Amino acid sequence: MSGGILGLVAAAGYGVDQRLRAELATPAAHRGWRLAITFTPTAARWMAAAGEIDRLQSLTDLPVRSTSRLPTDPKPYPIPDAFLFVPATANSIAKLALGIADNQALTALGEAIGTPGVPVVIRPQADDAQRGHPLWEAHLETLLGAGVHLADGSPDEPWAPLLDLVEALAEVPL
């Protein structure tokens, strides 16, 4: 494989087990990205139950992750050149905005946000009640202020166009 590393991060939102591989991972791999796929713990359970972990692993030479490494283990790859977080649940957005890195997915994203030159694109997936929480807008403003790119949309909108956005932001020849 050639090209840059795309950090593809997913939380347990509607459709992740059916759409992530078809709409993002496979097209990204065909575009030349090396995929660094990381799931929140619940998303990992969903993906494992759907048989998606092995299918996704077949698209990349990097480990598909959901748990942290031991302190004695080397990092499995350098920080990716760009990140795409889809779907990003209200829970994960709140934690990320507050700097809570209580799982491997949020740890990777938190490091990316703190690394100059690494674009992070997030597709929020939250219903009206979650978006009505008094801190929802503040969390989004915090992330925007940190340089994150929000690509909000309906949960039914295609995810594939997000690859065009992340590629426009990334400075990596593919």
Spans of the chain below 50 pLDDT: 1-2
Give DSSP secondary structure letters for the chain: --S-EEEEEE-S-TTHHHHIIIIIIHHHHHTTPEEEEEE-HHHHHHHHHTTHHHHHHTT-SSPPBSSPPPTTSPPSSPPPSEEEEEEEEHHHHHHHHHT---SHHHHHHHHHHTSTT--EEEEEE--HHHHTSTTHHHHHHHHHHTTPEE----TTS-STHHHHHHHHH-----
Topology of the domain comprising 5-169: Rossmann fold (3.40.50)
What pLDDT is attached to residue 172?
64
72-96, pLDDT tens digit by residue?
999 999 999 999 999 999 999 999 9
Give the pTM. Answer: 0.94
